[in-house]
Amino acid sequence: MRALRALRSRRFQAMAAAAAAGGARRGRVLNPETMNPAIRRVQYAVRGPIVSRALEIEQELREGVPKPFTEVIKANIGDAHAMGQQPITFLRQVTALCLCPELMKDPSLPSDAKERAQRLLEACGGRSVGSYSASPGVPMVRENVARYIERRDGVPSKAEDIFLSTGASDAIVNILKLLVSGSGSSRTGVLIPIPQYPLYSAALAELEAVQLGYFLAEERCWALDVAELRRALAEGRRRCCPRVLCIINPGNPTGQVQSRECIEAVIKFAYEEKLFLMADEVYQDNVYAEGSAFHSFKKVLMELGPPYSEEVELASFHSISKGFMGECGLRGGYMEVVNMNPEVKAELSKLVSVRLCPPVLGQMILDTVMDPPKPGEPSYERFQAEKKAVLGALAEKARLTQEIFNRTPGIHCNPVQGAMYSFPRIDLPPRALAAAKENKQAPDMFFCMRLLEETGICVIPGSGFGQKEGTFHFRMTILPPAEKLKNLLEQLSSFYTKFVTEFS
């Protein structure tokens, strides 16, 4: 009798749970079985399970759950302001004035910010940033982007080839949407670096394109090797139709800065193999290492001359989220398309028009970055000082990261030549691999989860970016303030040593 009651009670509980879990009574129209399987296959490690756990731990800390640390440090994402980097004043003044033109009478705001805001407002419908802009962006801003590229590269750029975007991600996905077609063995294959920024793998999964990884050479500071490109392409040709080559320079998560020679070789390879080039150059202002310099694919392509300069198709991407600005939340960016077929460019224009326009304030910020205060203007000194301070601090933190990690036996960190991340390799003992397997986790996920639980430091396992089999890494930003970063690096190194001892 008691057993029956218990059984009934269990059955009732199961029913209640099913109802609570979303009404299992007749099943949902949209459920894991019926939903788009391509979306299920999407992975995005930068905001994946480890970040969910970090948010839970933050909540637990707020609720007073005792932990061996007092705060979670989110070193998982290139989110500069969240780590305390200060916004550049001129950028913010101009956008605030655009939003609230009644501030034109505020005497504390400089005249060049007011003039810029006036000019930008004149370029907006009804003189309001609340109007839609043209879908590829405000013409004045596109023009300023083209002038910026000309100054950067010393080769011509046309406003009609510039498409403003909602961050770089938006533009990257739009170009991929145009490129991916075919089915079976004629499906478009896209070459991406391994390790890669997981936007690429996520977008390719969503678009059901074939991902073709080429490995960067860790032993040569993550250099790109054309022989490896060739291997990946040949392998890809056996199962799909490779048509696109993606480059991330400076590298994310790997931080390398490509040499001019390397870029030339990649362009020649793309020409020979008929590949469309996508150059993710969002970290172009973030170059720290002595002897490293940023060379844009556009500049190198144009300087190579014909046939390359006339025939190699290129889309290059930039963003206001990185550099010295770090304006991630504003969602601004642009792409420049080079040698794009005019009919395809018209299709791109149509495609972006369906989403109406990129956020107008992101466009305004982009304008101030492309066309910053000039010598003699009231905001010039402050702008330069703020920019220099941010980039100087990042360079110092890049150096610090490499130095502290490499002190620890078992951690191997390439120089952070550019971008905002270190991507050190960690040796993991066999017993740690066995423990991870038991936990049904990738070994570096197992390590990073333990790190998070014991120290509050949130970094992303290398398996989220891709890595050579049998090697293990994590990505950590260099963004926390120097003193804090130093502590983090030391804490992380000691945790690693302890972890290795535990599993030896």
Q: Using CB under 8 A, which residues numbered 456 to 475 contact a second copy?
A: none
Q: Which of 164, 216, 229, 275 binds a second copy (CB under 8 A)?
A: 275
For the residues of 286-355, what is the DSSP string, one character each? -B-STT-----HHHHHHHH-TTHHHH--EEEEEESSSTTT--GGG--EEEEEES--HHHHHHHHHHHHHT
User: Which positions from 302 through 321 interact with a second copy, judged by CB under 8 A?
Assistant: 307, 310-311, 313
Per CB under 8 A, 279 contacts a second copy: no
d(CA 412, CA 425): 5
Q: Which of 347, 377, 396, 490 binds a second copy (CB under 8 A)?
A: 347
Per CB under 8 A, 100 contacts a second copy: yes
User: Which positions from 374 through 413 interact with a second copy, judged by CB under 8 A?
Assistant: none
Q: Minimal distance in Å, beta carbon 180 to a second copy?
A: 6
Per CB under 8 A, 369 contacts a second copy: no
List the x/- string, 190-209, binding to a second copy by CB under 8 A. Answer: ---------x--xx--x---
Residues in binding contact with a second copy, number by CB under 8 A:
104
Q: Which of 123, 229, 360, 420 binds a second copy (CB under 8 A)?
A: 360
Closest CA to 365 of 329, 392, 315, 317: 329
Q: Minimal distance in Å, beta carbon 4 to a second copy?
A: 27
d(CA 55, CA 33): 28
User: Which positions from 424 through 463 interact with a second copy, judged by CB under 8 A?
Assistant: none
List alpha helices for 180-250, DSSP H.
199-207, 226-237
Nearer to a second copy, 63 or 438 (CB): 63
Do residues 497 and 408 lie in contact, with contact meaning Cβ atoms separated by under 8 Å?
A: yes
Closest CA to 237 of 183, 178, 185: 185
Nearer to a second copy, 340 or 404 (CB): 340
User: Which positions from 26 through 55 interact with a second copy, judged by CB under 8 A?
Assistant: 26, 28-32, 34-37, 39-40, 42, 44, 46-48, 55
- The window from 217-225, 271-279, 371-379, 398-406 that contacts a second copy (CB under 8 A) reads 271-279
Per CB under 8 A, 126 contacts a second copy: yes
List the x/- string, 101-120, binding to a second copy by CB under 8 A. Answer: -xx-xx-x------------
User: Which positions from 145 through 174 interact with a second copy, judged by CB under 8 A?
Assistant: 166-167, 169-170
d(CA 441, CA 461): 11
Nearer to a second copy, 295 or 322 (CB): 322
Nearer to a second copy, 289 or 479 (CB): 479
Per CB under 8 A, 350 contacts a second copy: yes
Do residues 333 and 282 lie in contact, with contact meaning Cβ atoms separated by under 8 Å?
A: yes
User: What's the count of helices (H) and strands (E) in the chain, helices before strands?
Assistant: 18, 14
Nearer to a second copy, 64 or 307 (CB): 307
User: Which positions from 57 through 96 interact with a second copy, judged by CB under 8 A?
Assistant: 77, 79-85, 87, 89, 92-93, 95-96
d(CA 229, CA 224): 8
Which tokens hold the place of 356? 């109406």
Do residues 287 and 295 lie in contact, with contact meaning Cβ atoms separated by under 8 Å?
A: no
Q: Which of 110, 213, 358, 456 binds a second copy (CB under 8 A)?
A: 358
Per CB under 8 A, 184 contacts a second copy: no
Distances 431 to 275, 347, 470, 494 between C-alpha atoms, Å: 44, 55, 14, 19
d(CA 233, CA 240): 10
Eight-state DSSP code of residue 202: H
Q: Minimal distance in Å, beta carbon 296 to a second copy?
A: 20
Which tokens hold the place of 292? 């490293």
Per CB under 8 A, 13 contacts a second copy: no
